[in-house]
Amino acid sequence: MLDREGQALRAELVGIFGRGVDEPLPDDEFDALARRIFAYQFDRNPPYAAYCRRRGQLPESVGHWTEIPAVPTAAFKEVRLVSGDARRAEAVFRTSGTTRGRERRGEHYILDLSLYHTALLPTFDAFLLPDGAELPIFSLIPPVDEMVDSSLAHMVSVVMDRLGARESGSFATVALGIDDAALDEALRGATARGTPVCLVGTSLAFLHWTDRLRARGARYRLAAGSRLMDTGGFKGRGREVGEEELRATYAELLGIPGDHVVNEYGMTEMCSQFYDNVLRDRVLRGTVRRRHKQGPPWVRTRVVDPETLEAVPRGEVGILRHYDLANLGSVMAVQTEDIGREVEGGFVLLGRAAGAPPRGCSIAMDLLLSAVEERGQ
Amino acid sequence: MTDVDAFHLPGLTADDVVRWHVREYGDAEVRLRTPVLQPAAIGRIAERLRAARARHLAELPVAAVVDAIAATAARLADPADPHRRIADAALPAATGYSPPMARLILDRMLADWRADALDSLLRAEFGDPAVLDAFRPGPRPGTRVRALGPALAFHIFAGNVPGVAVAALIRSLLVKAATFGKSASGDPLLPALFARTLADVSPELGTCIAITYWAGGTTTLEAAALDAADAVVVYGGADTVRDVRARVPAETRLIVHGPRISFALIGREALTEDAADRTAALAARATALFDQQGCVSPHVLYVEQGGDVAPEDFAARVSAALERLRTELPRGRLTAAEAAVIHQVRGAAEFRTLDGQDVRIFAGPGTEHTVIYEADPTFTPSCLHRVVSVKPLLDLADAVERVRPYARYLQTVGIVGAGKRRDALAERFARAGASRITGLETMPWPPAAWHHDGQEPLRELIRWVDLED
C-alpha cells in the first residue's frame, strides 16, 4: 500500500494509464511527473537516496528526468529498493531461480498491485489485442498460485482474467511442465469452432513444446486471427535458436504468421512491459514496419554508451535504461544489462547479456553459478 | 584492411568448396576467408591427411618433428616473417585483445614451442621420447614399450586465447597423428597461420595438418570429421562437450578440456611495506593478462590479514597497478553486453556498500578495471575482463572451504607470501581440486611440460604396445 503522497501520485498515474497507449505523453508532462516521483522515491528509499547522493543528484538539483540516477537491476538482489514500507507490499516478485542461495535473487516489492495491473493491461491490450478481439488466452506458463514469485505468471493470470475469453487458462504446472494432451484438445476444439486463440509463454517453453509437436508429427492450422506472445531468450540454456527460426516454426506448426507473433520484453524489476510493434502495425496501419520494441507512453528508454554511460547518438548500440513511471513504489529508473538501439518509435533489442559465454578458457560467473547449482551442490 | 585466408587445407579442390565465406573482425579491419565445405569434402580431407601421415609422418623420428615445430616457432618469432606480420596485423582484431597483449601472448607461447621446451614436455611424459619411434626398454625388465599416436586426431577448439589451440596441434603432431583442427570463432587465425608456416618449413609435414573454421555444431560437417578420426580432442563449455560426446562414435578416444577457474592466495610475508607494492603489481598482472579470460586468470585474490598492509589497502594497490598496466597492456575492446555486465557488478557492489556491508570498489575510468574489496570471504566468480575481488582471510587455509563448491572447475592456485606454510597449503588445495599450484608471477604462464588440467596431454593421445622378449 502507498502512503498519502503516494496515493496522490497514483491518482495521476491512473489517469495517464487510463488514457491508453495511443495518447502521447508530452515530454514536459513526463518530465514533471518523473521528477516528482524521483523526489518521492528519494524521500522513502534510503539505499536509493544514498546512491543518488553519491552521484550528487538530489531532487532539487535534477533539472530533467534524464539526470535521474538509474539503478542497475543487479541492485535488486542486494537491497530492498522499496519506496515505502516493505512490510506493506502487496506482492514481492523475484528474478528467476537459476541459482539457489549462492547468488541472491532480485526482489521487486510491489506496494500497489492494482496500479501494476492498471499499467500492464492497456499495454497488453494495445499490442496483442489491437483489433479488440476477445480470445481464449492459452498459457504455457504455470498458474500464478504455483509461481507466486513470478511477475510473468502474475501478469499472464491478470491478462487471462481481465482480457481473455472464458476458456482462457494455463496448460502447465511447475511439477509436470506443459500438459500437451490438454493443450492439444483445447487447440483442436478452438480450431474446429473456428475460434482464434492467443498463446502466451516463454520462448523456451514454445521451443520445447514445438520440438515435441514436430517429433510426433503434430501440426495445427489455428483459426485466422490467432496470435502468440513469447518472451525471454535461451542464452546459456543449452540451445541457441534464433527468433526467426522460432517464428518459422510457429508458422509451420501452428499456422500463426510472423506478424501475429509478438515478443514481449519485460523484467521483474519493471511494472511496465515492451512489445513488438508487428501485430499492432498490421491491424492499425495495414503495413508492418521493421520489428522493434515499443512501450507505453509512461515509459521512456535511453540507450547509453557502454563505457561512459552517457546517452549515445540515436541509432547507436548501447545499454538500455528504462524510466518507468509505473514503478512508483520502488525505483523508476533502472539500468539493465540488455543491449539495444533506438529506432523511430521504440528500440531494437539486440540481446540480453545474461548467460553470454565468455570468450576465453575461463568461465564467467553466471554460467559457473548455474553449472554449480545444476549439480545440486 | 587486412584480408587473410584463415585455413590450411592441403590438396583442397574446387569440388570441395560450396562457396567462400568472409568474416569481418574489429571494425572490419580484418577479414578472414574460409571455405564453406561440402560435407563429402571432410572425408576426402581426412583421407588425404591419413595418406600424408603414412608417407611423411609415421616413420619420421620424433626429434625431426620437434625440429620442424621449433623452426616454425622461430619463424613466427621473427618480426620480419610474413606470417608473423599477418599475426601482428590481424590477431588483435581477430581475438579481441589489444595489440600489445596479442604480441605478448604470442611471444610467450612461441617460447613453449622451442626445441628445449618440447624436449622437456616429451621427457616429462615419456622419459625416453624415442618410444614414439621404436620399441625401447620399458619400466619392466624383459619388456620393451612403444607409444603410438592415433592416425588421425580431430580437434575442436574454443576460446580466444591465442596459442591454446596451437599447443594442442603441436601435441598431436608430436605423437605423429595426422591433425585436423576446427578453429574457434574467438581464435580463428593463429592455428591456420601456424599450419601454413609449418608447411613452409616442411612441405611434407604441412600435408599432415589441416585447419579450417565452421560454426560449432554444424553437424553435417562435424559428423564426417568425428567419424573419420581415431581420437577427438574437444575444448569448450559443458554444452559443447555434452553435444560432441553424444556424437563421437563409442570406440573413438575422446579427450575433453573444459573451462577452468583460478585464484590467488596472498600471505602476510608478501604484504610487508617493502613487498606489498610488488605483490600488488604481480596480482594485477595475473589479472590483466589474457584480459582475465585465461583458465589461469584469478577470479579472487584472497589476502591474509595481519600483514603490514591490510587487505583493503592491498586492493587499492592492485587497482593502482592495473591502472599503470593500461599503457603497457591495454585491455581489449568489450562488447556492449560485456560492459553492461561490469556496470551491473559494480552497481551491485556499490549497493552492498550503501547497505552498510564492508565493501569498497576501486575502479579505473570507464570499465577498464574493477577491484572489489569485500570482507565477506565467499568465493565470487568474476564476470572477467579485469574485474577481480579482494577478500580478507584470517588464515590462507580458510580458502579451502570457500572454493569447495567449485572443486571440479579449479585449476591454478597462485600462492605468494605463505612462507613455510606453502607445502601444507599445496596439499590442501590439491585435495580440494586444484591441478596446479604456483607463484603469483608464474601464474599466467604454465610451463610447456605441465600436467594441463591435471592430465597428460601427450600420453592421453597415445596407446602403449608392450613387446615381451
User: A319 and B380 in contact by Cβ < 8 A?
Assistant: no
Say how far apart CA B372 and CA B365 lie, in whole Å. Answer: 15
pLDDT reported for residue A236: 42
Share of chain A above pLDDT 90, in %: 85
ipTM over 0.90: yes
Q: Is A251 on the interface with B (CB under 8 A)?
A: no
Strands, DSSP E only, in B338-423? 359-363, 370-374, 387-393, 410-416
Across the interface, do A319 and B336 touch by the CB < 8 Å criterion? yes
Amino acid at B160: N
Chain A contact set for B261 (CB, 8 A)? 362-363, 368
Q: Closest to B161 (Cβ–Cβ): which among A335, A356, A360? A: A360
Are A332 and A37 in contact by the 8 Å Cβ rule? The answer is: yes
> Using the beta-carbon criterion (under 8 Å), do A361 and B259 form an inter-chain contact?
yes
Instruction: Tell me how far apart the alpha carbons of residues A112 and A91 are, in angstroms, rounded to a whole number.
Output: 8
State the angle between helix axes of B62-77 and B82-95 in degrees (0 to 180), rounded to the nearest 10. 80
Q: Does A75 touch chain B (CB under 8 A)?
A: yes
Angstroms from A151 CA to nearest CA on chain B: 21
pLDDT at A369 over 50: yes
Q: Which residues in chain A have their CB less than 8 angstroms from residue B293's CB? A: 358-362
In 10 A of CB B293, how many CB atoms?
27
* CB-based contact B295 A358, cutoff 8 Å: no
Flag if B384 and A358 touch (Cβ within 8 Å). Answer: yes
Angle between helices A151-163 and A113-128 (to 10 degrees): 70
Alpha-carbon radius of gyration of chain A: 21
Mean of pLDDT values over A242-259: 95
User: pLDDT tens, B74-116?
Assistant: 999 999 999 999 999 999 999 999 999 999 999 999 999 999 9
pLDDT of A361 over the 80 cut:
no
Report the pLDDT value the prediction gives residue A238, as an integer from 0 to 100.
43
Q: Which of residues 280-319 of A touch B (CB under 8 A)?
A: 306-309, 317-319
Contacts of A350 in chain B (CB under 8 A): 336
Judge whether A47 is closer than 8 Å to chain B, CB to CB: yes
A205 near A140, Cβ under 8 Å?
Answer: yes
| pLDDT value, residue B28 | 78
What cell does B260 get? Answer: 577452468
pLDDT at A237: 43
Rounded Cα distance, A325 and B318, in Å: 41
At B352-394, the pLDDT tens digits run: 999 999 999 999 888 999 999 999 999 999 999 999 999 999 9
Give the pLDDT confidence score for residue A103 in this predicted structure: 62
Query: Residue A374 above 60 pLDDT?
Result: no
Q: What is the mean pLDDT of residues A123-139?
A: 98
Measured in angstroms, the CA of A48 and the nearest CA of chain B are apart by 8
Find the CB nearest A51 among B261, B334, B354: B354
Residues of chain B short of pLDDT 50, as ranges, are: none
- The mean pLDDT of chain B is 95
Using the predicted structure, report yes or no on whether residue A72 has a pLDDT greater than 50: yes
Q: Which residue of B has its CA nearest to A319?
A: B340
Distance set, CA A152 to CA A34, A352, B187 (Å): 25, 17, 39
Q: Is A362 an 8 Å CB contact of chain B? A: yes
Q: What is the pLDDT of residue A101?
A: 43
Check residues A235 and B325 and name the one with the higher pLDDT. B325
Average pLDDT value over all residues in chain A: 91
A107: pLDDT strictly greater than 50? yes
Q: Where are the beta strands (DSSP E) in B71-142?
A: 136-137
Residues in Cβ contact with B80 at an 8 Å cutoff, skipping those fewer than 6 apart? none
Q: What is the pLDDT of residue B413?
A: 98
Which pLDDT score is estimated for B364? 82
**pTM, to two decimals:** 0.93
Does position A241 have pLDDT exceeding 90, yes or no?
Answer: no
For chain A, the residue count is 377
Identify from A359, A367, A372, A375 which residue to disrupt to test chain B contact, counting B C-beta atoms within 10 A and taking the largest count.
A359
Query: Quick one: closest CA in A to B368, which residue?
Result: A307
Average pLDDT over residues A218-245: 80
At B27 the pLDDT is: 81
Contact call for A306 and B406, based on CB within 8 A: no
Comparing CB atoms, the residue among A71, A319, A371 nearest residue B340 is A319
If contacts are CB pairs under 8 Å, which of residues 316-345 in chain B contact chain A? 334-341, 343-345
